[in-house]
Amino acid sequence: MSAKPKDGQHGANVRFHQIGRRLPRTDAPGKVTGKTKYAGDYSMPRMLYAKVLRSPKASATLTRIDVSKARAMPGVACVLTAADLPHRVMPNDIPGQTGKDRLKTDNQILVKERVRYQGEPLALVAAESLSIAEQAIQLIEYELEPFPGVFDPFEALKPGAPIVQGEDNVVATHQVRKGDIRSGFQAADVIVENTYKTQFIEHAFLEPEAGLAWIDENDVVNIRMSTQVIEHFRFIADALGVPHNKVRIMGAMVGGGFGGKEDITIEVYLALLTKNTGRPVQMIYTREDSMFGHGKRHPFDIRLRTGLTNEGKITAVQAEITADAGAYVYLSPYVLLYSVTAIQGPYQVDNVHVDARAVATNNMYTSAFRGFGAAQACIAYEQQMDEAAKRLGIDSVELRRRNFLQTGDSIATGYKVDSAVWTEQCMDKAIKGLGDRPADEGPIKIGRGVACYQQSYGRITWLHDTSEAWVGIEVDGTVVVRSGVTDIGAGQTSALAQIAAELLGVHLDDVKVYHSDSAVTPLAGTTTATRALYMTGNAVKQAGEAVRDRLVRRAAHALSVDEEIIVLSDHRAYDVNDPDNGIELADLVALCASEGIHRSELVIFKAPFTDPIDRDTGQGRVHPDYVYGAHAIEVSVDTETGEVTILKSVAAHDVGQAINPQAVEGQIEGGTAQGHGYALTEDLIYKDGILVTPSFSEYLIPTSMDVPMQVDSIILESRSGRGPFGAKGIGEPSLTPVAPAIANAVADAIGSRILDFPITPEKVVRALHHIA
């Protein structure tokens, strides 16, 4: 048993006390008993209730808005339109830590003149009751003149198309020029070309956006908020025209995010209304508000051309990627970048040529969603592998095996991966986990598919990402962690507690994590980009180690032994060779306290800092590191009705080091269900920019009757990641391979491929030529 937990590459004989154990999470009891409060569960005396008036049209000019009747209604405290906010904008760029200039992508908070998407806010109302606010909304009079709109990115690129953003609707471009694409294709014996199309997806977190804002006696605007990012306080301050240190965001436990609570949603509305009225203001979105209230997953059109030799070696990958950015830029440039970085797949390819653009339309704006462009890329490249295998007459698993990227190989942007790349092991284990293949029965055909992936963890390296954490131990031996991290349900805070418990020799229950307060908890950065464990876990680990080192030094002195043989475990510090020679942790801490030995530490952890990649070649480093894995699926397809049932689902991911395997499984199982919906049942349908699937009756996420009873989660631990104890991440990786694996399984079952998502029963029937 090692005295000190080791991290890094060598981990075969590491023994942990807390890390790696399936402990019930710290946040579980509050959630299952209903004690945990979410942002909409708080109220204050004299609180006002706020509602948003939204444009029913997708593309229009607001020629008139008259709020006089609404303002005059008894019980209405405040009505705001753009006229009341003359120079204010809503920042929608990526929040950064370094204070560097953001892209100039800000949009109007309330419509001044031009409506660019259905649901764009026209006015805000705050009133004494929700009912009065709703009635006041009805009293606002306005006129919208139709304005020519465009609803398809390819249409938006045509000369003469209505302009939604910029000069030509192109809001972002990226390109990759790796190697020599011409010679790459010349070396190919076959060229496989397909265009894969994906759809708008809704996050469908169960908790609609909610918050409560108030202005206190120090003129601080406080916002209790359901958000993935408390760092938005800076943007909110800018939008209000107040100093940054006078806006405080207190994140509540978040009822689901998935990227949909990554941008600013209602914070600015709450801040404006509370500043204007001087009273607390609560805003809770209905589900319908939520459909219009945050950016969706980008639909992608990926034209992929792959050159391979007859032996199955990929010689060239060429991609034309077009993403629908919707009405405003938001995080489109970054989503596009991720897709470009990922499009080579977890394969070794010397020649890669990518042209990618994000195009504005009058559809709902699109932004962050778990996978962030790399998921869409995987849908293309993993289906392409199966198509290539079919074309070459090589088994699709074998084809992958002949091409896997290895440690030291370069990805599409030329960056050489230096952590473990265990894709092949993951693939083999996932497929093996499917077991024996059942026989077809009548019209019911069985199909199997696998998908492998590369998904980044950690944010773009030229954002100079950092995360701070404070760890301290109290004189009674209990532990405090202070971190700005937002907990969006994956166990972000519990993982930090588990790390602190490991390092300081206590149990999970002995650690209290105070989190998500932009004024008093050290800022951890966003809970996005599969970065929370990597960044904040490392910060907590380093802070915990600093405290631990001081405790161990003092204990060694007290016990007259060397530091290297001191173990902190079970509330004691003791000699690993002579456990009876020890001191109670509380006594040790009290000793340290009385001697002025620092019982806490504040750490800033820094991700690798780079400069942006080359604009022309797309070469350079984009991310700190990558996760690799695979997912295998078995389906049955009723070839008469087209219904697809998932029979078996096996995931295998190298997460580096699982902090809590049960939590890792939870992410895998949840990602599997989201991938299921992505491939088969979910579709946000806009007809000329009008949403025709505005509720959970039309937008169908999988139910308990749709998913298989179990998902096998095979967790591999290479301990080669940059996170604490060699961890990588699982938040986004757990979703990325699922939809393409399902698509591959369906194609296997029916013998042909449906190239546009979702794969509905009707599309299956059409692909089988049962109907015209």
Among 1, 12, 439, 705, binds other proteins (CB under 8 A): 705
- Please report how close the Cβ of residue 549 comes to other proteins at its closest, in angstroms: 33
Among 95, 458, 656, 671, binds other proteins (CB under 8 A): 671
Position 489 contacts other proteins (CB under 8 A): yes
Among 490, 714, 739, 759, binds other proteins (CB under 8 A): 490
Among 27, 465, 468, 545, binds other proteins (CB under 8 A): 27
Residues 732-751 that bind other proteins (CB under 8 A): none
- Please report how close the Cβ of residue 257 comes to other proteins at its closest, in angstroms: 8
Give Cα 752 to chain centroid, integer Å.
32
Position 40 contacts other proteins (CB under 8 A): yes
Could you give the 3-state DSSP secondary structure of residue 708? coil
Position 253 contacts other proteins (CB under 8 A): yes
Position 441 contacts other proteins (CB under 8 A): no
Residues 641-660 that bind other proteins (CB under 8 A): 641-643, 645
- Give the residue with the Cβ less far from other proteins, 359 or 765: 765
- Please report how close the Cβ of residue 124 comes to other proteins at its closest, in angstroms: 17
Residue type, 638: D
Tokens representing residue 677 in the block? 């919906």
Span from 11-19, 147-155, 198-206, 214-222 in contact with other proteins (CB under 8 A): 198-206
- Please report how close the Cβ of residue 409 comes to other proteins at its closest, in angstroms: 33
Give 418's contacts (C-beta < 8 A, 6+ positions apart): 407, 408, 625
- Please report how close the Cβ of residue 204 comes to other proteins at its closest, in angstroms: 5
Residue type, 584: E
Contact 309, 189 (CB under 8 A): yes
**Tokens 């978040």 identify what position?**
254
413 burial via Cβ count (<10 Å: 0-12, 13-18, 19+): buried
Position 256 contacts other proteins (CB under 8 A): yes
Contact 555, 565 (CB under 8 A): no
Among 95, 211, 255, 371, binds other proteins (CB under 8 A): 255
Residues 683-702 that bind other proteins (CB under 8 A): 685, 692-693, 695-698, 700-702
Contact 465, 607 (CB under 8 A): yes
Position 509 contacts other proteins (CB under 8 A): no
Distance, in Å, from the CA atom of 223 to the CA atom of 242, rounded to the nearest integer, reads: 14
Position 681 contacts other proteins (CB under 8 A): yes
**In terms of Cα–Cα distance, which of 347, 344, 317 is closest to 427?**
347
Distance, in Å, from the CA atom of 171 to the CA atom of 208, rounded to the nearest integer, reads: 29
- Please report how close the Cβ of residue 693 comes to other proteins at its closest, in angstroms: 7
Tokens representing residue 595 in the block? 């001697």
Position 56 contacts other proteins (CB under 8 A): no
Cis peptide upstream of residue 299 (ω within 30 degrees of 0): no
Among 326, 670, 729, 731, binds other proteins (CB under 8 A): 670
Position 769 contacts other proteins (CB under 8 A): no
- Give the residue with the Cβ less far from other proteins, 681 or 744: 681
Distance, in Å, from the CA atom of 481 to the CA atom of 484, rounded to the nearest integer, reads: 10
Position 709 contacts other proteins (CB under 8 A): yes
Contact 8, 719 (CB under 8 A): yes
Position 22 contacts other proteins (CB under 8 A): yes
- Give the residue with the Cβ less far from other proteins, 128 or 669: 669
Tokens representing residue 472 in the block? 């301290």
SS3 sequence, 225-254?
ECCCCHHHHHHHHHHHCCCHHHEEEEECCC
Q: In what order do the strands lie in the sheet with 511-515?
A: 511-515, 479-483, 466-473, 600-606
Position 200 contacts other proteins (CB under 8 A): no
Largest Cα separation within the chain, whole Å, is 85
Position 439 contacts other proteins (CB under 8 A): no
- Give the residue with the Cβ less far from other proteins, 601 or 634: 634
Distance, in Å, from the CA atom of 566 to the CA atom of 555, rounded to the nearest integer, reads: 8
Binding characters for other proteins, 374-403, by CB under 8 A (x = yes): ------------------------------
Residues 105-144 that bind other proteins (CB under 8 A): 134
Span from 86-94, 535-543, 565-573, 756-764 in contact with other proteins (CB under 8 A): 756-764
Position 731 contacts other proteins (CB under 8 A): no
Among 9, 10, 15, 37, binds other proteins (CB under 8 A): 37
- Please report how close the Cβ of residue 760 comes to other proteins at its closest, in angstroms: 7
- Give the residue with the Cβ less far from other proteins, 397 or 490: 490
Give 136's contacts (C-beta < 8 A, 6+ positions apart): 51, 70, 73, 76, 79, 125, 127
Distance, in Å, from the CA atom of 312 to the CA atom of 400, rounded to the nearest integer, reads: 9
Contact 753, 447 (CB under 8 A): no
- Give the residue with the Cβ less far from other proteins, 91 or 299: 299
Phi and psi, residue 494, nearest 5° = -65, -35
- Please report how close the Cβ of residue 537 comes to other proteins at its closest, in angstroms: 18
Position 596 contacts other proteins (CB under 8 A): no
Tokens representing residue 250 in the block? 């207190």
Residues 267-306 that bind other proteins (CB under 8 A): 284, 286-287
Position 765 contacts other proteins (CB under 8 A): yes
Span from 351-359, 379-387, 445-453, 674-682 in contact with other proteins (CB under 8 A): 674-682
Residue type, 443: P
**In terms of Cα–Cα distance, which of 116, 103, 119, 136 is closest to 273?**
136
Contact 47, 213 (CB under 8 A): no
Position 563 contacts other proteins (CB under 8 A): no
- Please report how close the Cβ of residue 26 comes to other proteins at its closest, in angstroms: 11
Pairing of strands 141-146, 247-251: unpaired
DSSP string across 372-392? TTHHHHHHHHHHHHHHHHHHH
Contact 429, 380 (CB under 8 A): no
- Please report how close the Cβ of residue 28 comes to other proteins at its closest, in angstroms: 4
- Please report how close the Cβ of residue 657 comes to other proteins at its closest, in angstroms: 18
Give the DSSP letter of residue 677.
Answer: I
Tell me how long the chain is.
Answer: 772
Among 155, 355, 669, 688, binds other proteins (CB under 8 A): 669
- Give the residue with the Cβ less far from other proteins, 476 or 698: 698
Among 4, 6, 21, 38, binds other proteins (CB under 8 A): 38
Position 476 contacts other proteins (CB under 8 A): no
| Total Cβ atoms within 10 A of residue 87 | 5
Position 59 contacts other proteins (CB under 8 A): no
- Give the residue with the Cβ less far from other proteins, 40 or 312: 40
Among 30, 56, 408, 579, binds other proteins (CB under 8 A): 30
The CA angle 208-213-241, to the nearest 5 degrees, is 115
- Please report how close the Cβ of residue 183 comes to other proteins at its closest, in angstroms: 45
Torsion of CA 590, 595, 599, 602, to 10 degrees: 170
Contact 325, 166 (CB under 8 A): no
| Size, binding site for other proteins by CB under 8 A | 80
Give Cα 746 to chain centroid, integer Å.
27
- Please report how close the Cβ of residue 552 comes to other proteins at its closest, in angstroms: 33
Among 312, 484, 544, 666, binds other proteins (CB under 8 A): 666
Give the DSSP letter of residue 696.
Answer: T
- Give the residue with the Cβ less far from other proteins, 438 or 612: 438
